[in-house]
Chains A and B, each alone.
Chain A
Amino acid sequence: MALIEIENLSVTFTTAGRKVRAVQDVSFKVEAQQSFGLVGESGSGKSTILRAICGMAPITGGQIRIDGKPLPTPRGRAFAAQVQMVFQDPYASLHPRHTVDRVLSEPLAIHGQGGSDAKIEQALIDVGLPPAFRFRYPHQLSGGQRQRVAIARALMLQPQILLLDEPTSALDASVQAETLNLLSRLRAERGLTFVMVSHDLAVIDHMCDRVLVMQNGQAVEELSREALASAAMTTPYARALFAASADRMMEG
């Protein structure tokens, strides 16, 4: 039985009488300790699926099951200890007025866990940040450093599943490389399950075992990494996406 099961998921937003069907009837499964990628352009609904898993987007059809059990509404503390998310924009995902120490101690405080001093120091070391950064504010950190803090925050509760919403698209190329390396290492060390969203096929190829290509809220094609690497796509959109990214690859 897969760890995460998304079955015929539909998400429709209704604002002022207009309906926006962000996700239409999407299904996929993620096995434990697998890394699953969702790739598509803007408006494809990939980020909306992550938000639906977290309870931040309304599910208007279908079901999401984790470990065979449907998700409770509201998600609750048990869910928080199992699933966490890393957001796209490192400048928006940390509270501007909270120090790194506060950011990392908060999940522990919410769940009534002690030993925060040691855990915070260890968390910083785990993501490759010097413990001396502990009392810095976000604006004293670079984009890459902030994203590391965000990753550390997501891991404070020792979750099983990590949802990653374009974790490196706001970062410079060299910083992206370091961040992706960090994520791969953490995943290997802790046996995490990733669901990663990106618009960059190369990043998805590097990080994920299976990929779902999405367009306009619908699932277009699901590929294994081998199929992606050998350009064995069957749908024209997936091929177009590949061509637009592979272009860059040709030069290098």
Chain B
Amino acid sequence: MTTLNAWLLDPNPKSRLQSRVGQTWLSWLRFRRNPLAMIGLGISVALIFMSIFAPLLAPYDPIVQSLPDRLLPPLTPGHWMGTDDFGRDIYSRLLYGSRITLYIVMLVILTAPVVGLIIGTVAGYFGGWVDAVLMRITDVFLAFPKLILALALVAVLGPGMVNAVLAIAITSWPPYARVARAETLTVRNSDYIAATRLQGASALRLIWGHVMPMCLPSVIIRVTLDMAGVILTAAGLGFLGLGVQPPLPEWGLMISAGRKFLFEQWWVATMPGLAIFIVSLGFNLLGDGLRDVLDPRSAGK
């Protein structure tokens, strides 16, 4: 273990790989000192774990109905979170539903921030009319409340999980463009950009190799903080019946279905609600912790 430690903390790394891994390790050590961030990380890891091992962890099938067992309260033997109005075990449905949640979150993360980052850095770097045109396009998307725009898109495209993800992604990219552009404007005037430009570097090399790496931390932090919002938007769409369709166990859909019984059988809607709350909180805490670690201003202190 000590040789690995020595390798990681070597002040004179022998290769780019060792250098990168060593820095990542130091960042991890810093991250570890923040208890709230570790809780956030724990929740996020638990979510991933749950979704991967759902078939092994779930005691019941999430879709098969069992009418004699409908609306059983929590802590009934065999159903520790109770059952819903079709007799399906809520715990099992939550576990399988975590897959859907994670799927939606991953798809959005891989599309919206990437698009936003590219648009933001190009706009910020070139300035002038390129900036004006790109930012006005961004403003158009920003002008609509997210959920309304997502609703409109889903109404046009038709309900379903993929369309819901597409709608959410299309409405999520503008804030990333804004963030990337703001960072680019700061970075653009740095001496290191001037030095590389003086060497004859093209705009593409400067944006890709120099500007984007500086924008990444802000975007990553924004992503983790937005994940909560993405989950809630997906839940909202599900709640309105426009996203994921029944009988899939999407958490928002579960809340919507449980609305009818909110006062008598509170657990049908509350359990998925608590799940959304905990996962959103977890991502938020993770994002906060990442910000402390990734913020270049605090690096090198």
A contacts B directly (C-beta below 8 A)? yes
Residues on A close to B: CB < 8 A? 54, 56, 75-77, 79-81, 84-85, 87-89, 92-97, 99, 101-102, 106-107, 110-111, 130, 132-133, 135-140, 150, 153, 157
Task: Known contacts A93-B191, A110-B205; decide if A136 and B12 are in contact (CB<8 Å).
Answer: yes
- In the complex the two chains form, is A135's CB within 8 Å of B192's CB? no
For B17, give the chain A residue with the smallest CB separation: A135
- In the complex the two chains form, is B192's CB within 8 Å of A92's CB? yes
A106–B200 alpha-carbon span in the complex (Å): 10
A137–B11 alpha-carbon span in the complex (Å): 10
- In the complex the two chains form, is A93's CB within 8 Å of B201's CB? no
Q: Would you give the 0/1 interface string for B181-196, flagging 1 where the beta carbon is closer than 8 Å to chain A?
A: 0000000001110111
- In the complex the two chains form, is A136's CB within 8 Å of B191's CB? no
- In the complex the two chains form, is A94's CB within 8 Å of B192's CB? yes
Residues on B close to A: CB < 8 A? 11-16, 18-19, 23, 190-192, 194-196, 198-201, 205, 209-210, 213-214, 296, 299-300
- In the complex the two chains form, is B195's CB within 8 Å of A85's CB? yes
Residues of B within 8 A of A79 (CB): 200
Task: Known contacts A92-B191, A132-B12; decide if A137 and B199 are in contact (CB<8 Å).
Answer: no
A-B contact pairs, 8 of them (CB 8 A): A88-B191, A93-B195, A99-B19, A102-B16, A110-B201, A130-B12, A138-B300, A157-B199
Residues of A within 8 A of B300 (CB): 96, 138-139
- In the complex the two chains form, is A80's CB within 8 Å of B11's CB? no
A194–B192 alpha-carbon span in the complex (Å): 21
Residues of A within 8 A of B209 (CB): 106
For B14, give the chain A residue with the smallest CB separation: A135
- In the complex the two chains form, is B23's CB within 8 Å of A137's CB? yes
A162–B256 alpha-carbon span in the complex (Å): 70
- In the complex the two chains form, is B19's CB within 8 Å of A136's CB? yes
- In the complex the two chains form, is B200's CB within 8 Å of A139's CB? no
- In the complex the two chains form, is B200's CB within 8 Å of A133's CB? no
Q: Pick the contact of B296 from A75, A96, A106, A133 — CB < 8 Å?
A: A96
A54–B210 alpha-carbon span in the complex (Å): 20
Residues of A within 8 A of B199 (CB): 80, 84, 106-107, 110-111, 157
CB distance from B97 to the nearest CB of A (A): 38
Q: Pick the contact of A140 from B11, B15, B198, B200 — CB < 8 Å?
A: B11
- In the complex the two chains form, is B198's CB within 8 Å of A135's CB? no
Residues of A within 8 A of B23 (CB): 137
CB distance from B121 to the nearest CB of A (A): 15
- In the complex the two chains form, is B200's CB within 8 Å of A54's CB? no
Residues of B within 8 A of A81 (CB): 200
Q: Pick the contact of B200 from A76, A85, A87, A96 — CB < 8 Å?
A: A76
For B23, give the chain A residue with the smallest CB separation: A137
A93–B194 alpha-carbon span in the complex (Å): 8
- In the complex the two chains form, is B194's CB within 8 Å of A87's CB? yes
- In the complex the two chains form, is B299's CB within 8 Å of A77's CB? no
A106–B210 alpha-carbon span in the complex (Å): 11
- In the complex the two chains form, is B191's CB within 8 Å of A87's CB? yes
- In the complex the two chains form, is A101's CB within 8 Å of B299's CB? no
CB distance from B102 to the nearest CB of A (A): 29
CB distance from A151 to the nearest CB of B (A): 12
For B214, give the chain A residue with the smallest CB separation: A97
A35–B197 alpha-carbon span in the complex (Å): 25
Task: Other than A106-B199, A157-B199, give 9 A-B pairs with Cβ distance below 8 A.
Answer: A54-B198, A56-B194, A75-B200, A79-B200, A87-B195, A96-B299, A135-B18, A136-B13, A139-B300
For A97, give the chain B residue with the smallest CB separation: B213
